[in-house]
Amino acid sequence: MEIINEMRVMFLSKSENESFSRVAAASFISPLDPTVSELVEIKTAVSEAVSNAIIHGYDGTIGVVTLEMRILDTRTVEITVTDQGKGIPDIEKAKEPLFTTKPDEERAGMGFTVMETFMDSMEIDSAPDKGTRIMMKKSLTTDLT
């Protein structure tokens, strides 16, 4: 697939940067003229991935979260969120709806379910003490050609 455009931003794992990541994602895809639904779905998936990195990956410590986005073939958006935090010991368990490692903080345990629902594909690469990389793709209904 041809890369039409790409960007990468790195920010500290602070909760206020979750909203920054949503705005960055929305700004980056705006030239594609996504539908309101597509825009909301992408912003929500990015928000879930970034909040997982901040809350679970770094677990109260400060590290760096990287958001990378690419526009491929004029209508596919590829999103990668990476952290160098704790990692996920059991990815399949973590993907189960309602599973959370932070029940005392009233976490719903729906982050991965939301990402999978709103995106066309999602892959998770993670290892304990190495960090996590979440790769997502979504094809938009718009076409720049």
**Do residues 48 and 67 touch, judged by C-beta distance below 8 A?**
no
- 145 lies in some domain: no
* Residue 133 within any structural domain of the chain: yes
CATH label of the domain that carries residue 57: 3.30.565.10
Instruction: Tell me whether residue 42 is in a domain.
Output: yes
Do 118 and 41 meet the contact criterion of CB atoms below 8 Å apart? yes
* The pLDDT value given to residue 113: 86
**pLDDT number for residue 15:** 93
Q: Is residue 144 part of a domain?
A: no
Q: Could you tell me if residue 16 is inside a domain?
A: yes
Asked if residue 18 belongs to a domain, the reply is: yes
- Give the domain extent around 7: 3-139
Query: So which residues are the catalytic ones?
Result: 48, 52, 107
Q: What is the pLDDT along the chain (145 residues), one digit of tens a residue?
A: 789 999 999 999 999 999 999 999 999 999 999 999 999 999 999 999 999 999 999 999 999 999 999 999 878 999 999 999 999 988 887 777 656 666 565 555 567 889 999 999 999 999 999 999 999 999 998 554 4
| Cβ pair 138, 77 in contact under 8 A | yes
Report the number of distinct structural domains present in the chain. 1
**Residue 34 counted as domain residue:** yes
Q: Is residue 49 part of a domain?
A: yes
